[in-house]
Amino acid sequence: MSDSKKPKRPQQVYTLLVEVGRKEGDGLPKDANGGALLCYASGVDEAEAVRETVAILKQADLAPLDVTGYGTPAERAAQGHEIEAEERELMDRALAENAVIVAQMTPFFETETR
């Protein structure tokens, strides 16, 4: 009898940049027209990390519009990204807790051109 179960794939942590629109109760400043969140999310692959991040942000009354993935720490290092110690700590925490960590939230404001 053969074991048809796939071996369990290890969790990894991914860096994601999520653009959000406005939604009532989203916590963004009143005059902002959206924002961007830098997140570290765990998953067996980037697609799972994105799905989990979007689901959690929706539960937090945010309106995710677009997600850009920057890969694992190893993939980022291979691309020449420098990863600071504080950022590495947040990544380690996301992995250890199987969580999504929002490291930074930047509101967007419409600028007037004259």
Structural domain includes residue 114: no
Q: Tell me if 108 sits within 8 A of 34, measured CB to CB.
A: yes
* Residues 6+ away with beta carbon under 8 Å from 47: none
The letter for the amino acid at 18 is V
**pTM for this model (two decimals):** 0.87
Query: Is 27 in a helix, a strand, or coil?
Result: coil
Structural domain includes residue 89: yes
Structural domain includes residue 45: yes
Say whether pLDDT at 2 is over 60.
Answer: no
Query: Is 45 in a helix, a strand, or coil?
Result: coil
Structural domain includes residue 49: yes
User: Domain range spanning residue 102?
Assistant: 12-108
Query: Is 55 in a helix, a strand, or coil?
Result: helix
CA 104 to chain centre: 10
Q: Residue 4: what pLDDT? A: 59
pLDDT band at 113 (very low <50, low <70, confident <90, very high): low
Q: Residue 3: what pLDDT? A: 52
